Structure 1
Amino acid sequence: MSDDAPPADKPIPVKKAVSLGGLCDAIVFLALPCTWLGSLGRYGWVFDLLSHFRLQYVIVCALVVIYALIRRRTWLVLISLISLLWNAQIIEAFHQTAEVADTTREKALRVMTFNVLTQNKNQTSAITHVMQTDADIVCLLEVDDSWRASLEQLRIKYPHHLEELSDGHFGIACYTRLPLKSSEVRRFSIWRLPTLVLNLDHLGRPLTFIGTHAIPPTSGQRAHEWRDQLSGIATLVAGLTGEVIVAGDLNTTPWCEGMRLLREKGGLDFRSVDPVWPPTWGLHLPMMIPIDHVLTKRGLTIQKRTLGPDMGSDHRSVTVDIVRSAP
């Protein structure tokens, strides 16, 4: 037996911790490509999903510019600045989409759309908010049988209504004080989600109001159904000759492919004096996006657009005042 002392255990090498700079570099190289891939929405649903977060991309790109300046990386300053400006100009295009019209000729038509959230525990406050807004046309989304009793106030207030409450998270109800000529429930795509169509009289002219709730495009199949639903609505609108209003939770941001279909194929547009990019969904999330909209056709202009307060839903209500543009 040897008298030599046993060799001491060698220390186990510890992997070097990731540096803050390396982590920032990784975030930068992941974030910047998203701002550009989001512009390829017509070529794939994943790309289109990335297009929804333009507001967040502006903030991220601004932070990257600051980071690149601190690290003295001229090439990164240039790329991030271009990316920032690219996203900012996309948002700016929807800041004001109509000029102020002469509103002295006739009373504005007030339209409200509100995704109240099926499991909203604050139904009383939500309906009170709707009642106090006193819109001429109200479109409520995610109303199911649990909302039936709460909706009675609206049935009393408004002489005409159309409800489809049996479709769970895609239940929908419309109420109006305008003269109602006819109404119907239309279903597009194989999911057959309800879209309400009301043929109204607006100051002596025919007006078609379409209320809808599009399926979220969060997978390949859902994105396909989402496009079919929006495309079907666009085809319906394209065949109408009178004034048209489309409102609801479209699960569509102003700059995504679905909105392009509605605007180009259906002839719809925002025509809004106020910006349409402020977020309406995800009130307490960093990924807040504008997906609740009112679009018009045939010379109708939105002179005022207001977002409602937190009423227990993950959406804010959208209320607009609409007037006819001068011929």
Structure 2
Amino acid sequence: MSLKANSAGALALAAAAGLAFGTLPRLIPTTTPFGAMARMLDSLAPWFLVLTLICALVTMLLGLRRLGGVLAIAALVCGGLLVRDHARLSLPAVPDRPVDLRVLFFNALGENAAWGDRIVSAILEQDPDVVTIAEPEAIYPALKRLREQFDFVSPCTFETCSLLVATRRQPRRFWRLSLNPAWENRYAVAELDTASGKRFFLAASHLMKPWLVGLSEVELARLKSQYDWLPGPVIAVGDFNAAPWSQPMQDLLNRTGMRTLRIPVPTWPAAFGPLGVPIDHVLVHEGARVVNARAFGAGLNSNHRGIVADIALP
């Protein structure tokens, strides 16, 4: 068999594998024997489908036109279904709406304390109304600067600071909860008013990785219950460790009515920039809308990029 035929066969096999990895994981429940592996893969579905399409097209050029064509069409169909599902549970930005507040979320990476002062400087340059930081141990050395600039900074000591919320205005209410027994107080809620008197809830979370079977499902169920409790406009931010088209996020959005960004902001790994996976999110509910959203934190030594979002409230 010629080198050309061997290459075509190998690429066809790679395309078939990419198609399987890009479609099947989202269909596999977490509690099944293959659930943990499925949760590792389903956030990567678009990348697998793009790989499938490229391999299929090259397979056609190398002579296996019928097989390559079938694989290419399958990749396009599955990609179309993925886009359809994402569009149903997302909202486009509304750049024509007036901005009521600016929200910033950033996973600062706990061992990143040497960069703490630079992280705080970068945050202040964005002039946000609400800041949420996951793994805030990184900014603990510079926490005083945040306290000088914001009316409210959630209680934080180096040993217990697992999720930090800072707001320009004092919240009407603020509380924290533990959604799982492994990491404490990684969910926080603030009831806030804007300067013009519009009231809203800010819910912040840092979820565990979805392939930690036995814990992640319980955590997600508790998060759904917490979101269901919040009335009126809600803005939910956080590190969800899952892309918006993954099974856990699709279930969360379906069950709660929260909506994600139509064009997600790639956040992880930070080194991949715009080619990264969007596992950090800004979700909205009950009339809150994202006016625009952009990546934050490039060059701040975290493994995540953050998100800065301008929000319009009803």
Q: Tell whether the structures are fold-level matches, with TM greater than 0.5.
A: yes
Aligned residues of 1:37 and 1:50 also touching (Cα < 8 A): no
Counterparts in 2 of 1:65-214, with a 5 A limit?
A: 65-70=56-61, 71-91=63-83, 94=86, 97-98=91-92, 100=94, 102-104=96-98, 107-120=99-112, 121-144=114-137, 147-165=139-157, 171-194=162-185, 195-202=187-194, 203-214=196-207
Could you list the per-position Cα deviations for residues 236-295 of structure 1 after superposition, in whole angstroms to 9, with x for gaps in the alignment?
11122222111011112101122123212222112x4x611x421113359831101011
Shift of the alpha carbon at 1:89? 4.6
Which residue does 1:302 correspond to in 2? 290
Q: 1:291 aligns with which of 279, 286, 289?
A: 279
Shift of the alpha carbon at 1:59? 2.5
Q: 2:29 aligns with which of 23, 35, 42?
A: 42
Point out the structure with the larger helix share.
Answer: 2
TM-score, normalising length from structure 2?
A: 0.84
- Taking the aligned partners of 2:85 and 2:27, their CA distance within structure 1 comes to 18
Change (3 A) 1:148 1:283: closer
Shift of the alpha carbon at 1:235? 0.7
Aligned residues of 1:197 and 1:211 also touching (Cα < 8 A): yes
Shift of the alpha carbon at 1:197? 1.4
- Structure 1 regions of 5+ residues with no counterpart? 1-18
- Taking the aligned partners of 1:25 and 1:75, their CA distance within structure 2 comes to 7
TM-score, normalising length from structure 1?
A: 0.81
Tell me whether 1:261 sits opposite 2:240 in the alignment.
no
Aligned residues of 1:303 and 1:323 also touching (Cα < 8 A): yes
Which residue does 1:312 correspond to in 2? 301
Aligned residues of 2:93 and 2:292 also touching (Cα < 8 A): no
**SS of the residue 2:172 aligns to:** strand
Tell me the number of residue pairs that the alignment of Structure 1 and Structure 2 aligns: 299
Which residue does 1:7 correspond to in 2? none
**SS of the residue 1:113 aligns to:** strand
**SS of the residue 1:153 aligns to:** helix
Aligned residues of 1:64 and 1:77 also touching (Cα < 8 A): no
**Amino acid paired to 2:127:** D
**SS of the residue 2:29 aligns to:** helix
**SS of the residue 1:59 aligns to:** helix
Q: Percent identity?
A: 20
Change (3 A) 1:167 1:302: farther
CA RMSD, aligned part only?
A: 2.8
Aligned residues of 2:19 and 2:52 also touching (Cα < 8 A): yes
Tell me whether 1:324 sits opposite 2:305 in the alignment.
no
- Structure 2 regions of 5+ residues with no counterpart? 1-5
